[in-house]
Amino acid sequence: MLKLLLTEPENPLLQEHALAWQTQWGMEVDNQQSKGLALVLDEHHLALKQLDEPKLGAVFVDFASDVLTFRRQQTSVRKESIAKAVGIKGNVFPRVLDATAGLGRDAFILASFGCHVDMIERSTDVAALLSDGLRRAKTNPLLQDWLPQRMALFHDSAVNLLANWQEIPPDVVYLDPMFPHRKKSALVKKEMRLFQTLLGADEDADDLLGPALELAKQRVVVKRPESAPFLQKKEPNMSIKGKKLRFDVYFTQI
């Protein structure tokens, strides 16, 4: 687990927030840290930073960002491959369990269409970032009326929760395991580089498919880079392909 660093250690509001993070996530505050990865708390948000590489910037969850707002307002089910993959059609909005939530962007897009999305994140550090994003969304005028009711976060091993799910059974289980990115891009240099430093690749990704197929009422959707192998080398019932990635769809009711 990463250490928590406050940008203004003497700020009473930040101290209050830091205490809440310590209580909820068990984080240790260390304002002396100057190198390596850390979770940095300022008056705006919680962020992941590489302290000795400031050019990498910060990674944080912002469901009201310009990019996500534009995508939410300009996109449609017909344009979004992920919407087709999970089975959104007309007034049918499947209940989705995103077992590899990450920064929650795919979950957000599905929720913006009308799906309820339960998110699983096993990394305490990433779950804390997600929790902070959800907290701020509750007070955002563009999101507060719908997002809190459609997105929920669970912190645990996906393999464990998939096998012992106690909530409403999902129609769809969505998997987007971490995959090594070889091509250089702004995303790889920033977010994916920090994430891979923090988490590494999901070496146990194949272990998710079996319990996902057992739990999903309708289908399992696996997001993969275009050239990546199928999980467990199991051929899907269909694949929806884009320019750089694909969605492998496994039906559980045929």
Q: What is the DSSP string of 27-89?
A: --B-TT--SSEEEEE-SS-EEEEETT-GGG-EE---TTSHHHHHHHHH--TTT-HHHHHHT-B
CATH code for the structural domain at 4-59:
3.40.1630
Do 213 and 231 form a contact (C-beta atoms < 8 A)?
no
In sequence order, what are the residues at sequence separation of 6 or more whose Cβ sits closer than 8 angstroms to the Cβ of residue 112?
72
Distances (CA, A) of 205 to 158, 213, 222: 10, 14, 10
- The residues, any chain, with a CB within 8 Å of residue 17's CB and separated by 6 or more, are 41
Asked if 4-59 and 66-251 have one fold, the answer is no
Which token pair is 66? 């310009």
Taking phi first (over 0 means left), then psi (-120 to 50 degrees means alpha), and beta for anything else, what does residue 245 get?
beta
pLDDT at 186: 47
Closest CA to 209 of 52, 67, 99: 99
Q: pLDDT per position in the chain (254 positions), as tens?
A: 899 999 999 999 999 999 999 999 999 999 999 999 999 999 999 999 999 988 888 899 999 999 899 888 887 788 889 999 999 998 999 999 999 999 999 999 999 999 999 999 999 999 999 999 999 999 999 999 999 999 999 999 999 999 999 999 999 999 999 765 555 454 555 667 777 778 766 678 899 999 999 999 999 999 999 889 999 999 999 999 977 899 999 999 86
Nearest to 168 by CA among 103, 216, 130: 216
In this structure, CATH architecture of domain 66-251? 3-Layer(aba) Sandwich (3.40)
Q: What is the pLDDT of residue 181?
A: 52
Kindly report the backbone phi and psi dihedral angles of residue 165, in degrees, each rounded to the nearest multiple of 5, phi listed first.
Answer: -70, 125
Residue 38, beta-bridge partner list: 49
Residues 218 and 172 sit within 8 Å (Cβ to Cβ) = yes
What pLDDT was estimated at residue 128?
96
Are 5 and 15 spatial neighbours (Cβ–Cβ below 8 Å)? no
Round to whole Å and give the CA distance between 242 and 231: 18
pLDDT, residue 189, reads 57
Extents of the domains making up the chain: 4-59, 66-251
Q: Looking at residue 202, what is its pLDDT?
A: 67
Q: Rounded CA gap, 153 and 53, in Å?
A: 30
